[in-house]
Chains A and B, each alone.
Chain A
């Protein structure tokens, strides 16, 4: 069963979980959408399931709400966890559904958001019309508001049937509650709980430039472009361009890409991509033994994650620098809590108890810290709760930064020797790993991970500095793909100089944009992206624009047609401004 159908079935099951008397509105609209999805699933053409539907990530959900309703709309609740596929949650987003508890959370969030939008504090700003009477249904105003907001939430204009359903729901609820704004909020809540909002649904049309081939339709193209460059839904300008055929030509597409790439909102996408690529979602479940690492707190973890993102954004966007420099840069940003871990002075004149403030910071040229691999985020995320792990770090570097797969250990490995950190016969983790790796079944993998991770052994499991283990001096010599190196700075330079680092970035970014791993047929496209990236000094925004301007981003080849049914829009979306 395709994910589309799976999601629909799950959601249909979950309608019964929507609590309370508001089910009239919410359930009606959600059920209507689900029926439409299910009916559409009976179509005649199909593509691989990744092409169709991807669940919004938590960040995308929050960004869209902020874009449409403003940043002072509070979003509580919890999101279902994502699934990481081929290194990215964004790819996994096409393979996840919604759990019953997750649907309840969506419903709860939707009601809370809608209540805030329609409350007395916000309604005059966010609802650009007024009913004749607040105690009676206001058909015109409901239609105007739900139509305007709906196209931003669904990333396309609502169909006549959809709008009619939402207005009817608002009117019905107004009659029950005797309050127009309550009715409107309930209808909006229903809209926010629908799969058209919660899932990015892409529809296809015949590709006019390639006979027999398919491509995303204009709104789906707008959506894919917007999520790639802004990590959010299309704005009004982009929707208008989609409606007016502005995305049907290369020039039209390029104008939009240029506009969007020049926007400060590009940073949101860069942050989202690297959060995903660097697996920063793992911070949510990261724990450290505070008896061993008394400086490590949830605040430090949060700051560490942010530090690396700030460093990346600084190199790649602020300074439009070479991507490879993120592995060697001495420039970073610190908070007071992080400065304590790095053992450097940090002064910020803020009142006692204030949230952490950030300041730029340059590590000295001779400092053993340089680049993101030596930052607290990387070394603490890829360590055990109470000790470092050259193996985990080496594995992470290969898989995350170089896109190389490291096999999982066999199920019957004896880790006792490695875990006994007070063993006086093997005082350092290097000695323990050497002894452990004498087991033939272990040796192969450790050979490709440990020489990398051992170079980071001056950084303990929480990112702090260490030179001794059990009284023995720590040796931080290592190697990466035949290159001998010393310490964290040496490793950073080796990754900087390793061609796998940039090709990995290109592959990951292409997958992030597509929402799936590039196919074999797209190898030449990905190769050309790599060449453009190299020719332009590994400047990330150049690569992003190249991807965004590529027809390949919006194309579906017939070779991918499978027996999974294709979703077709229930009716032709209305053009912008059409009544």
Chain B
């Protein structure tokens, strides 16, 4: 019964969510009988997505983790190589000929060990000795209180000052240079990832429906994947007010109960969010116990979405670039694996107690857009405002 009701709501919203203008929504709503039907829907397309960092001076004891060109000394040492051998290998790596260098990079790649057998350390990170990378010890991080508890691992959200914030992903990754950032300063890794995926992956759509989106009150929040990719203007920025068709695939369609309070949009009944992407990194983005907090303005949405994210999704999202990613935009992949495992705090295995997920928060900026059903409607008599 619940599913049927939810389906009905979804269908109605699918019809209505392109109606960004109250005057139209009123006309359309008059055709509907349920008093619960939305009267206004505003839609948005995500123009920026990244892990939400809040890096502060001194939040990494002993300093941030060294770059890979230094870290690799440690990696080779962990394989039992003596300092002279390590120095020679690193010299070849830095300046050697193509053949010699290939030999060293292969040793780096195959630095996992199962017994005495070298294995690919990116695919089997647990076979690599833990380089014991540093993680964040600061008090502040953006995010949500996902478990309703205040523990020693909890942060305080710098925006809301709420305590009990669960964002262990920030703790795990926050001492790696490419993952450090603030609300306004974008982490390098995520600038790279978003830059590489934004022109090829289907756009993400968010629609908000409610009685009056200028007032406080209950709303419905819908996430969809578009059938089109983002459309950019002459400055490289995403063009607002473009139309996107929602992919009918239900696997990337998610509906949440939410509310607007003081111009801030939030989810009131958390659930699962899962978006399939079309990119080498992060082919799938999934959150459980999804929370959301976004300012809703005339210019769009901006804020964070958070929840528990599967550790393996995240690890392979950044490790599948192999040695190239490791050298350029991440850090010691195996080290990251250990950081993720050690800081995981969600979805414990009922038998082993091992956590499969890690609390996280992501920054999202979205600009106004029209979201339409995929079946190619022709719009007539639609007001331009």
What residues make up the interface of A, taking CB atoms closer than 8 Å to B? 290-291, 294-298, 336-337, 339-349, 352, 359-369, 465
B160 contacts the other chain (CB 8 A): no
Query: Least Cβ distance of B376 to chain A in Å?
Result: 5
Nearest chain B CB to A474 CB, angstrom units = 13
Residue-wise interface mask of B (216-246) relative to A, using a CB-CB cutoff of 8 A (1 in contact, 0 not): 0000000000011101011101011111010
Binds A, one of B141-149, B182-190, B377-385: B377-385
Given A290-B235, A294-B234, A352-B229, are A345 and B243 neighbors across the interface (CB < 8 Å)?
A: yes
The contact sample of 8 A-B pairs, CB cut-off 8 A, is: A291-B235, A294-B234, A340-B240, A344-B384, A347-B376, A348-B376, A359-B378, A363-B384
* Per-residue A-contact encoding for B351-385, CB less than 8 Å = 1, 0 else: 00000000000000000001010101111111111
Q: Which residue of the partner chain, among A291, A340, A366, contacts B241 with CB atoms under 8 Å?
A: A340
Query: Contact at B235–A294, with CB atoms within 8 Å?
Result: yes
Known: A340-B242, A368-B384. A345 touches B237 (CB 8 A): no
B282 at the interface (CB under 8 A from A): no
Contact at A343–B241, with CB atoms within 8 Å?
Answer: yes
State the B residues within 8 Å of A (CB). Answer: 18, 20, 23, 227-229, 231, 233-235, 237, 239-243, 245, 370, 372, 374, 376-385
A347 CB to closest chain B CB (Å) equals 5
- Tell me which of A294, A352, A364 contacts B239 (CB under 8 A): A294
Q: Known: A340-B239, A340-B240. Is A368-B376 also a contact (CB below 8 A)? A: no
A366: chain B residues at CB < 8 Å are 23, 383
Closest B residue by C-beta to A367: B383
- Measured CB to CB, the closest approach of chain B to A35, in angstroms, equals 51
| Residues of B contacting A363 in the complex (Cβ-Cβ under 8 angstroms) | 381-384
List 6 additional contacts besides A297-B233, A363-B382, A368-B385; criterion CB under 8 Å: A295-B233, A337-B231, A339-B370, A343-B385, A352-B229, A369-B384
**With A294-B234, A297-B234 as contacts: A344 and B382 at CB distance below 8 Å:** yes
A73 to B243, CA, bound (A): 36
Nearest chain B residue, comparing its CB with the CB of A345: B370
Q: Decide if A345 touches B379 in the complex (CB within 8 Å).
A: yes
A345–B23 alpha-carbon span in the complex (Å): 15
Indicate which residue in A290, A295, A298, A346 contacts B240 across the interface (CB closer than 8 Å). Answer: A295
Cα(A298)–Cα(B233), bound, Å:
10
B378 to chain A, nearest CB (A): 6
Contacts of A290 in B (CB 8 A): 233-235
Residues from chain A with Cβ under 8 Å of B235 in the complex = 290-291, 294
Complex: how many Å from CA A465 to CA B374?
A: 27
The answer to whether B385 touches A465, judged by C-beta atoms less than 8 angstroms apart, is yes
Residue from A297, A340, A349, A360 within 8 A of B376 (CB atoms): A349
On chain A, the residues within 8 Å of B18 by CB distance are: 345
Contact A343 B384 (CB under 8 A): yes
Closest A residue, CB atoms, query B245: A347
Chain B residue numbers with a CB within 8 Å of A297 are 233-234
Would you call A465 and B239 a contact (CB within 8 A)?
no
Residues of B within 8 A of A340 (CB): 231, 239-243
Q: Are B372 and A345 in contact (CB under 8 A)?
A: yes
Chain B neighbourhood of A348, CB < 8 A: 376
Other-chain contact of A347, B231, B239, B241, B377 (Cβ < 8 Å): B377
* A352 B228 Cβ-Cβ under 8 A: yes
Give chain B nearest CB distance to A488 CB in angstroms.
Answer: 11
Min CB gap A518→B, angstroms: 40
> Nearest Cβ distance between residue B370 and chain A, in whole angstroms?
4
- Bound: A287/B195 CA distance, A: 28
Cβ B380 vs Cβ A347 within 8 A: no
* Chain A residues in 8 Å Cβ range of B372: 345, 347
| A365 in contact with B381 (CB, 8 Å) | yes
Residues of B with C-beta under 8 A to A367:
383-385
The interface residues of chain B lying within 8 Å CB-to-CB of A362 are: 380-382
Q: Is A345 touching B382 in the complex (CB atoms < 8 A)?
A: yes
In the complex, chain B residues whose CB is within 8 Å of the CB of A368: 384-385
| Cross-chain contact A361 with B243 (CB below 8 angstroms) | no
Contact of A296 among B234, B374, B377 (CB under 8 A): B234
Shortest Cβ distance from A75 into chain B, in angstroms? 27
CB-CB under 8 A from A369, the residues of chain B are 384
Residues of A within 8 A of B233 (CB): 290, 294-297
Residues of A within 8 A of B234 (CB): 290, 294, 296-298
